[in-house]
Structure 1
């Protein structure tokens, strides 16, 4: 190549390099002068694309997470140097960058230069309460926006899939909870808690209703009354929704004629009562009730009403008729005590209780003479006397002995023992049995974390078996060697209800995994927490004392060695040997002094103090007691 041609090529290369330097540019994106920007939901934000260099930008393109920003009503400036986004949502969060087209046709820019984080409270749309028939699958759904995860709670307890195999979450966010084969125990309030990555949290609750078909709980009984008296028949029909109740008469389905003022039907949520006032011989028949709701129809057994002759007032000068009756009423309910005044001519009825006029506002007398008791308490027990006067003289004196029965009081846990992960709990009977024999107990337990649900076991009690203890197998929850604490409680029951729960007692024991020899059978009685604190304080003092003696002996050893180093050597080395012998004696003495002291605690020693709520059942050191 001639030298002139080589010179021209070199000149062209130098010119191209100069032009490239002239037209070189850089592109950056700034948001309020920062690469990170935070905004709340509903706010507005502006991004600015700044181009520096000699070339001119003739076009702009905005990117979000590497993808072009799409056109929307609340977004402006997509093809300009400034991008504005109004009414921000969680979805607007991400990394923003811009690309520019230069006058030279070259495209420059970055994928991400600014990062936007939009935060705020999640929103849950309103959703109604739901109802499902028993044994079907219930679907609880949470729908909304601005959240990343949904958690479900019931009665302030977080629902976990491991709690019940019937629970199922159908999506990765947790918006839908499925409860398969629902029962009445599943009914209640459920709360969905929506959370966002920015820390916002919103809760909303709904009510799950479990619907059931009608079921007869109480059938009407046979009734025998005298002419002119009142006949009362009652039946109880349960069901959800509440069944509509109707009374029928006779062997055929003939509806009771409520247009007759002597026939009165009173319905509430579960019970239905048929009242026949001033009964006549023509009212003698079979009566039964029926209930119906959306899920079925049910019919009770028939109760027979027999009508007898009315009582005759005694002739003048004869003593009044004496009637003695016994009645049991249930605690906490409403009931009535019948006075046989119907059928007499213009009777005057008066009541006394325990030979005193009635003054309790919970006792009221109706126009027929019957006495009604509202919200029965044990104070309502006693002797009631109804006096019926005819022609200004006593005709009938009726004495009713009323007994009140109700649920028992709570039992008291006395001792607990453990053997290889099986806890035996003992308790004493309630101090008050509700005037009805105890029929059974329900023992409850859970790990004392405050988060676990209660587990329970039923202990039946008959006249031949007097059981006030039970065993609880907790081996499945003892995953490793260590100290475990369990809450224990007991309820008692009789024919009239269930007691309140006993005081919750803490049972603490040390468990050694796969060692039935160490996990031996030992019993401990409830002791106060102050005793435990004193015992641990003594143990702590012993440990500290042992450490102090050990440190003291080592200090003496170091001092002796320093003296040995500082002492000058004599020609025979006698003094050095004496020093070493003395140091060895001191070291041996210190080792004997610094040995830790152990106090043997008799795990079988019985301690009995007053039982308090939330006091632990103390266990010894190393083995369960």
Structure 2
């Protein structure tokens, strides 16, 4: 809003205030300010033109509103049907001070048209007319015997509703009453097949059996909105006779062929068609004119409604209907004429003037037919009003010239045609007032070169003249000045324009003046303007701005920032936009496409301002396409049209098209187009509702989705194709099992979709089956035979028929049975090698015919299980030349095998039982004879959970768990390390004399690898080994620490004795360990700490020679070269002499240890007794030697069922339970290592090799372990 327009608005407001004061002082003609209001009627037709409609109930009260303003106070009178109405009647009253009319105990006699007249000495004003109408609430006539109708299923039906006389018109609806005990029977709603016409008749395009339930009846109902009551009409009983007939289209009912509508009103047309299938209805306008967005077709197609009528809507409209029986459309045509009630083109306004001035009142009215226009003075026709020689009618104007103070009056202009009437009620108020200046120029500041407006609010009647003086001597009369009735505009202000300005207002009754001052300042200038920027989104942007101003106004100077003309506040956009340094800088921390704009810096001192403008272009993903719509929809294809959105300064390369149907949960990408196109055509499936969205893409990314298109619907059609991937599954004995891929809803193309399965046996017998659930893709048919040939077809069918392409014929068999033959003479092959990895087996071949196999022969299956786990059976598949993996016969060989021989891999070190079966594709025969085998010991698999625990500069502590596959007795572990150089490893692998420690509570081995270099990458490798050899490798990559501060130790416990304290600490995984650890201690209250002996291997230390019953402060120190890390201080009190014994004998751990020791002795005694009673063990190996088995213990190639990890962390897995104890060391220290390293430490305070144990003997048998086998 400009400064001048602001002044103009303020001037008008001030003028209005002044006139209001003058009107109260000098009088004002009456003006209606409260018009009659409709009652019991909310329709637009109840308040049109100069008449409102008021409904009333008998014996209720009627109130017609009326109130008017004016000075002196107005008086009121009422007319009824253009005659004076007696307001003195006992039932009638007029509201004091307002004029509203009240009638009590209303009756039919009160029907009529009422109007209010408001009068004072200045004239008479007229209200709108009130058409007062009594309501009528008749009910349906009672019917003793309901109407009965018989109708064939599929035929049309119309049920009429004989409505009583009701005012105003009620709402008619139908219900179906199955049981009168139901409180609210369901209302019948319009759909494509059922509709209610404008007369209340219920129509069925075709009747269905489901329309009638039991002995129910159709009932017409009427709802009266005034009384808020509903009443039921006569019952209609319909008997639907079963029939499968189909019918073409016929017109069942239509609204009037000729319709007269009024401008800005509504026009309605309705067509109801009969037919089975239910007809599809299409509306169009003749002459090829498209229906516009004011023309709406109802949801189910029977009605066309045109809102807000225009003259251009005049013309012919037609509805047409077709169905599958009659594709030729049945058409009904309507003619629409559009006329208009009278409406103002230019209506009269109130006029306030001074004596001897002129006034004119416009009454420009149009309508169809052309309305008659009549003038009234104070409610009287102008030709009946007192004559006035200064008053003339000029076409559509009423003119007054040289008025006097006695010409004040109220003027009515009334226009009418056959559609209604329109009235305007305005006044002429004539005043005689001396000129008066109510607000002068005041004190105004302006900058050089700008323009300034000085105002002078003044009034008087007649309108006074206004002139301006400078410094009381110089009149303003050059071209530099522009004048209005109350202002002067000075253009291009100069310094010399400083001075005093006086405005003088005068008319015939006198004059008045006021003086103000104009102060001219130097112009404000932006000296450093923001620079245009272009950058990629996500980058920051900074704009700078500096300015100068007149020294007298410098203190008021401030810099304001605007984005596209809108003020920017500091920390807008959640702090992303910031105004810094007192407005000198605008910072955008992280730009996005929404930041592309014109940025302006405005330097303002309240006198003038200057602006610096810059443009920021942020290159970003584009904005979404605009105005996406459907250009054409039909014939199973759609054409989309859109306008490109803003590209955000990077050209649009592609548009990505997405679609969604009523079968989809979300939008799916269907295609892409080039960024230069704005149309796209897509093929569609039948019987679906489609909507579309589009994204735009440039080099920086994709836009968000565009708007969603309107729905594009396609009609039903036959399925496009039959189900694919049909297969006959032969896995169920006695059944023919058929499977296929589902036909998704989008491909079903119509309602009532189903699968039809046709089967034919070898004898030519055909059978048909239906599956109505499209998700069901399997059919199991009882055939009571085994492996018989069938031909199968699977069809896709809907209400329109089956797919046009004939379905493929598939050949297969009914389900297979259990083979009737069993392999014989299963035994160990004496001619094959027998090692810890492989063994040779042989057996008699079986008859492979389909009759004996009851299906297709598919080879053999060797089954084995551990003797102590007979329920855990493992299998080895054996293929036979002449069949493929699916059991189909290959080219026959010249001779058939009589003996089948195979070498297989079995788990090492295990007592096993085996048999062999013959198999067809799905089933196995009974098992052969069983044989027992004891396999030799093998090599173990990789260790589990290998990882580093902690490290220092010269050693790494690692841990691991036993191999999952021990494959014999683990006799030890090999550990080597090698330096990692670049992406490879050093060729030299250094072995370590390994004596790992078994940590029972964690079920893992731990070992410190010594002799390492500072800050170096190593690969540490671990192997488990049995007597057969070393197993599979596992390794972990780790880097030693640089020489720096070790990790602060964590004290776990400090156990006091009489004269000593045992301190235990913890080194966690990933910690940097110290070169050694020691305990510092002091008696509580003393200043100096003493140091205990250094520990390089243990994580505990005992401090001796302490005083009993004293408190000591202890802490653990980790030392590595010049670095020391100290733990927190722990306060501990040594025990007194009598407390030590008591603490031991009553300690919970001591009691538990004694109980466990007693239990172990008891178990050992029981085991010894059992051993003595059983004697020697019988070995199956003796029997196997008779059949050519040898219990060789040869070293073989490694077998590993796990993959090497190769990462710095070990393979995942959980440790197994162990039957054997851990291998233990008989050495007490690691002093043989050259590097006196903290690798000697473990976590739990013990040390490696503290206790010795005897070695296991070679004859000890390890626990069995499973292994995978292959032919």
Identify the structure with bigger relative contact order (alpha carbons < 8 Å, sequence gap 6+).
1
- Structure number with larger C-alpha Rg: 2
Higher helix share: 1
TM-score higher than 0.5: no
Normalization by structure 1: what TM-score?
A: 0.30
